[in-house]
Copies of this chain bind each other. A is one copy, B any other.
Amino acid sequence: MKKIINDPKRVVDESVAGFGAAHADLVRVEMDPIHIVRADAPIAGKVGIVSGGGSGHEPLHAGFVGFGMLDAAVPGAVFTSPTPDPILAATKAVDGGAGVLHIVKNYTGDVLNFETAADLASVEGIDVRSVVTNDDVAVKDSLYTAGRRGVGGTVLVEKIAGAAAERGDSLDEVAEVAERVNANARSMGLALTPCIVPHAGEESFTLAEDEIEIGIGIHGEPGRERIKLEPADGLVDRLLAPILEDLPFESGDRVLLFVNGMGGSPLVELYIAYRRAAEVLGERGIEIARSLVGNYITSLEMQGMSITLLKLDDEMVELWDAPVQTAALRWGR
């Protein structure tokens, strides 16, 4: 295992400490229990937004703490949901009296730990609402399963809900737009290579030199299917087809196209994928009104990508365009 780390057990602590030092203008870092809050939190009268989950998906979530997006991020151990304590601490730290929204990716661990934290926060008199993201079309959705995973759509939910909270929307309103973004987002990912969790020290799965995994999530888990490597255009088509038919996205729709790197793929490749995705959407009469390309929700050093489509309405566009000032996403200020 080759990594720029010291002790595998201190990866998250040291990285968060470094993040805090590098972005002291944006955030304040608390180490016990570990959480990252906006430098100016709590903001009286503003809905606080807290997200979190296992580490290893950076810049998600700490990279999205700041003006117009998250008020706090709670990092767990690598690929492990945080426990309720730091989620509760973060919730308290960002409560400005208008309530707090938890944005939770749909994984059993995240859902349960955030649930406990929300219960504890309610006991302390904080109004908490939760939105669970579940945009991954690679997973079959059913009442009898754990349901779809929250992946790329989470970034879009955090940006848009963050903008709604920043303009002063109520907790109900912020939760509503977050739900709406999640309901209109669909994603699918693939991996060219596995990743290595520091404490495990071994590759999360093994792939032959000509094999890739289709339908992966963001935890180094294998996907639904293993196929032979194909040219980029074919890969993009494979990701887009189930996304397009799931919502479905149709001619005349306006979308945000998000091509996300899993961490280890160079930007050149993401733009090659973007080119094809734009071509396919164009052929179908779907208008790309906004786009995002880069490594925003990752699996450590995994090579691969995911594509997320969000069907936009006017309010979402307005909130997407609203100023944001975080370590990883910034515009308008």
Contact = CB atoms under 8 A, between A and B. Distances in A.
Contact of A193 (B2, B16, B269): B2
B267 A264 contact: no
Interface string A180-198: 0000000000001100000
A143 to B, nearest CB: 35
Contacts of A139: none
Contacts of A229: 2
Given A2-B303, A273-B4, A333-B332, A298 B267 contact: yes
Q: This chain: how many copies in the complex? A: 2
A329 to B, nearest CB: 9
A144 interface: no
A233 interface: yes
Contacts of A274: 18-19, 21-22
B19 A271 contact: yes
Nearest to A327: B293
A43 interface: no
Interface stretch (A54-62, A82-90, A96-104, A161-169): A54-62
Interface of A: 2-7, 11-12, 14-19, 21-22, 55-56, 58-59, 63, 192-193, 209-210, 212, 229, 231-233, 235, 259, 263-276, 278, 291, 293, 295, 298, 300-301, 303-305, 325, 327, 330-333
